[in-house]
């Protein structure tokens, strides 16, 4: 029987009593989806999932996105929606993306016209310390803004960018002309709940359209610091067998540093989303 419990005071639920390697009945799935949409992230402990089991569960939420790298070089083959976040090296070559170090807060693929709705990360190998994932509640960061700031941000859009070839884990100092980019509303309506989330992030939000560079930079700095306050954030310490599902429409995530000589290997799929609106 599916049981759902609060994960933290800041954000999220933990789902128990479910084996995601097996088919999930419609009623159980509906209760999981509703709890996840209301709470931003959902944790499933002690799972044993191969690629297709993870793909099948992810597909219940909607069409999956195609991964940047479409196979695991350690095993060959693989589903085109599967991506490995890994620092494991074979013959000196990294077998996944984002292999090492800290990563700033961000929302997956916010630099695209239709960003990912959801991301699902499954832990396979975890270092002894670090490599934790932080999740920040975008609903609460919006709802706790001053009325003056809400009014100021209403109708404004921010340019989100991503430099694959530069430094994909830290905010860039400058951008190449062909960098991937798209402008989205800063105040994003969350379709399933009707709530509003603050939709900017330190890693990928470059500027606020219509403001001077100084005013844009100062406003974004205030927003970044606000949305990363400890009371809005849950830090997840991974265990092998964890599967975490997060809603990119309503929360941000970041990664803490870890020793580069310890293996860290996780498997990710993403669910395609709609064009954001205010």
**169 pLDDT exceeds 70?**
no
Task: Give residue-wise pLDDT tens across range 214-245.
Answer: 999 999 999 999 999 999 999 999 999 999 99
Distance CA(188)–CA(196), nearest Å, equals: 5
Distance CA(81)–CA(43), nearest Å, equals: 21
**5 pLDDT exceeds 70?**
yes
The predicted structure's pLDDT at residue 71: 45
pTM, to two decimals: 0.94
Q: Which helix (H) or strand (E) holds 215?
A: helix 213-227
Asked if 84 contacts 95 with a C-beta cutoff of 8 angstroms, the reply is yes
Distance CA(224)–CA(231), nearest Å, equals: 14
CB atoms within 10 A of CB 151: 10
**194 pLDDT exceeds 80?**
yes
The predicted structure's pLDDT at residue 165: 63
């Amino acid at each position: 029987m599916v049981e759902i419990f609060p994960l933290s005071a800041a954000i999220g639920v933990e789902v128990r009593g479910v084996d995601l390697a097996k088919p999930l009945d419609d009623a159980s799935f509906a209760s999981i989806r509703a709890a996840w949409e209301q709470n931003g992230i959902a944790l499933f402990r002690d799972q044993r999932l191969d690629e297709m089991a993870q793909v099948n569960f992810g597909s219940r939420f909607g069409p999956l996105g195609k991964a940047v790298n479409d196979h695991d070089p350690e095993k060959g083959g693989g589903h085109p929606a599967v991506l490995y976040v890994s620092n494991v090296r074979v013959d000196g070559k990294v077998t996944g993306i984002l292999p090492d170090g800290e990563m700033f807060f961000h929302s997956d693929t916010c630099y695209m016209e239709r960003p990912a709705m959801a991301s699902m990360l499954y832990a396979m190998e975890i270092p002894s310390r670090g490599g934790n994932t932080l999740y920040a509640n975008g609903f609460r960061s919006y709802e706790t803004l001053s009325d003056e700031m809400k009014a100021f941000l209403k109708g404004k859009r921010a340019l989100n960018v991503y430099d694959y070839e530069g430094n994909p884990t830290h905010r860039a100092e400058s951008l190449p002309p062909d960098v991937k980019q798209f402008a989205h509303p800063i105040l994003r309506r969350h379709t399933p709940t009707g709530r509003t989330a603050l939709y900017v992030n330190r890693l990928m939000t470059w500027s606020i359209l219509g403001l001077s560079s100084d005013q844009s930079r100062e406003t974004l700095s205030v927003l970044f610091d606000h949305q990363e306050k400890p009371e809005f954030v849950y830090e997840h310490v991974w265990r092998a067998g964890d599967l975490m599902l997060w809603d990119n429409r309503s929360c941000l995530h970041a990664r803490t540093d870890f020793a580069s000589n310890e293996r860290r290997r996780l498997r990710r799929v993403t669910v395609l989303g709609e064009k954001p609106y205010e």
